[in-house]
Amino acid sequence: MPFYHKSPKTNEEIGNELEEQSEIIDELASLLENIDKKLCAETRHVNMVTETLNSGKAIWRNDTSQRTFQEIKEEIARYGDVAKAIIDLAVYGKAQNRSYERLALLVDTVGSRLSGSKGLEKAIQIMCQNLKEDGLENVHLEPVKIPHWERGEESAMMLEPRKQKMAILGLGSSIGTPPEGITAEVLVVTSFDELQKRAQEARGKIVVYNQPYTNYSNTVKYRVQGAVEAAKVGALASLIRSVASFSIYSPHTGIQEYQDGVPQIPTACITVEDAEMMSRMVSRGSKIVIQLKMGAKNYPDADSFNTVAEIIGSKYPEQVVLVSGHLDSWDVGQGAMDDGGGAFISWEALSLIQDLGLRPKRTLRLVLWTAEEQGGVGAFHYYQSHKANISNYSLVMESDAGTFLPSGLQFTGSDKARAIMKEVMSLLQPINVTQVFSAGEGTDINFWIQDGVPGASLLDDLYKYFSFHHSRGDTMTAMDPKQMNVAAAVWAVVSYVVADMEEMLPRS
């Protein structure tokens, strides 16, 4: 290439070139910075993917065993034939409808089973004998003192603007009225906030709550706290719209709670229909006067028992999978759904396992709680008596939300335990009940769950459940034997597999 001589550049030309080169360098630096950011982002993405892939193994690794995801999955898969045998026996075999028939015999014989009543104590004695005759092990009663309340005679009559008798059910632990009753004008509110805003109007009146039903957990606070909030603003009594998803002029009872330092006033539930009617009346400017009479009375605590039976574990008998329902009920209806069904599918789970000649490595313990409706009184006593062995409880289970066709299992526990439960529920594919939901809970097992023990509850049709819940409609007519068969199969498969696996469910 020929060499060409160039004349020297001026200072201005050199300055312009340097400025251009500086701009190019800045652009290159910016480009390199962007490339670096993209590379960092890609690296983070790769790391996240790697962690996600590895977590599938890590989540299944027991803190004490170093077993892998695949090993635990394969162990659970080996229970497929056992699960099918349980399902076949419960749903299609000689045990089908057994839990329904057992339940019908008890509730038709004894009726309702209110805390402190002779009906409950008779049911406990019958069940203890039934469990012994069924061949279960270590059948015994564990004593506990429980509340004793009776509703007595009760009535509500609307006197103004016209006369109409109203259906009511006094709420558990409520005091009664004077013999002549309480006659007063009504104040209708839809919330505690509205009550506070209208506090000056409430003094000397009967507060009627017409709160909308959203779901049970949000709405039940009006039943539990309604009397206390009304008493704080000087009301003479409170009437609460029944906490129900559906009504055919059916009052729904339940527990209510007084508060120290707040006057105790009588309280009862009324029907959805009457609550809405009174709300419409006052919106038109009508004055409503009601005469309320309640013979409710609280008595000294009564003697009662939690009922216990077991299939003792073959390898780790000191470790426990607890299966439960509560035997008590309210004093209306038969308590067939709440919670006769839950108690009897829990018994049925052990019967099915025993019928097949199975004995899990861990002890399967059936507990039929007393006085659940009064706030889990029997279960709290059991927890206090047994919590020293809390490290030996692998899983606590309670069925207390109906035994209709199950949607799946509600579960509370560590991520590792949840992953295991998903594999266990996959064994129920033959009856298409495989989902694992969050928030496993139950009044009687929450004491354990709050202390870190994994907990499970059966989930089914809650709309139907709260249509009958705590009402006169809670009878065997609400129950379906075929649906109970499926519920029992789910309960038996889950409890057996968890009790028989080589390791306990991991905790957080």
Which tokens in the block code for residue 376?
């889990």
Q: Which tokens hold the place of 74?
A: 């394969």
Rounded to two decimals, what is the model's pTM? 0.87
What letter does residue 214 receive in the DSSP assignment? S
Q: What is the rounded CA–CA span in Å between residue 102 and residue 345? A: 10
- The C-alpha angle with vertex 302 and arms to 170 and 137, in degrees rounded to 5, equals 115
Residue 388: CB atoms within 10 A of its CB come to 8
SS3 content of the chain, % helix, strand, coil (to 5): 45, 20, 35
pLDDT at 260 over 60: yes
Pairing of strands 316-326, 393-398: parallel
Chain center to CA of 250: 23
Residue with structure tokens 């559906």? 246
- Segment 57-63 mean pLDDT: 46
Q: Which CATH class is domain 152-295?
A: alpha beta
Q: Report the amino acid identity of residue 504.
A: M
- Which residues are CB-neighbours of 272 under 8 A, at least 6 positions away? 213, 241, 242, 244, 247
> Matching CATH topology for 69-147+300-500 and 152-295?
no
Question: What's the pLDDT at 27?
Answer: 52
Domain chopping of the chain, boundaries? 69-147+300-500, 152-295
CB atoms within 10 A of CB 185: 14
Band of pLDDT at residue 508, cut at 50, 70 and 90? confident
pLDDT digits 0-9 by tens, 360-370: 999 999 999 99
CATH of domain 69-147+300-500: 3.40.630.10
Q: Poorest-confidence range of 53-62, 130-139, 380-389? A: 53-62
Over residues 472-492, the pLDDT tens digits come to: 999 999 999 999 999 999 999
pLDDT at 60 (0 to 100): 47
Task: Classify burial at 356, counting beta carbons within 10 Å of its beta carbon; exposed 0-12, middle 13-18, buried 19 or more.
Answer: middle
CA distance 359 to 137: 12
174-187 average pLDDT score: 98
The candidate with the shortest Cα–Cα distance to 236, out of 225, 227, 244, is 227
Q: Are 445 and 397 in contact (CB under 8 A)?
A: yes
Q: What is the pLDDT of residues 287-321, one digit of tens each?
A: 999 999 999 999 999 999 999 999 999 999 999 99
pLDDT at residue 240 is higher than 80: yes
Place of tokens 């206390």: 228
Q: For residue 124, give the nearest of 303, 311, 279, 364 by alpha carbon.
A: 303
Give the CA angle between residues 252, 254, 255 to the nearest 5°: 160
In this structure, what token pair is assigned to residue 162? 């016209």
The mean pLDDT of 9-27, rounded to a whole number, is 43
Token pair for residue 421? 């439960």
Q: Are 112 and 119 in contact (CB under 8 A)?
A: yes
Collapsed DSSP state (helix, strand, coil) of residue 373: coil
User: In this predicted model, what pLDDT tens digit does every residue of 79-124 receive, in sequence order?
Assistant: 999 999 999 999 999 999 999 999 999 999 999 999 999 999 999 9
Determine contact, residues 157/290, Cβ cutoff 8 Å: yes
Helix (H, G, I), strand (E, B) or coil at 386: helix
> In this structure, are residues 305 and 142 in contact, taking their beta carbons and an 8 Å threshold?
yes
* Tokens read off for 326: 């509560």
Q: In what order do the strands lie in the sheet with 168-170?
A: 164-166, 154-160, 289-294, 182-189, 206-209, 237-241, 267-270, 168-170
Q: What is the pLDDT of residue 358?
A: 98
Place of tokens 């015999």: 105
Phi/psi class of residue 138: alpha, beta or left (left: φ > 0; alpha: ψ in -120 to 50)?
left
Query: Which residues are catalytically annotated?
Result: 372
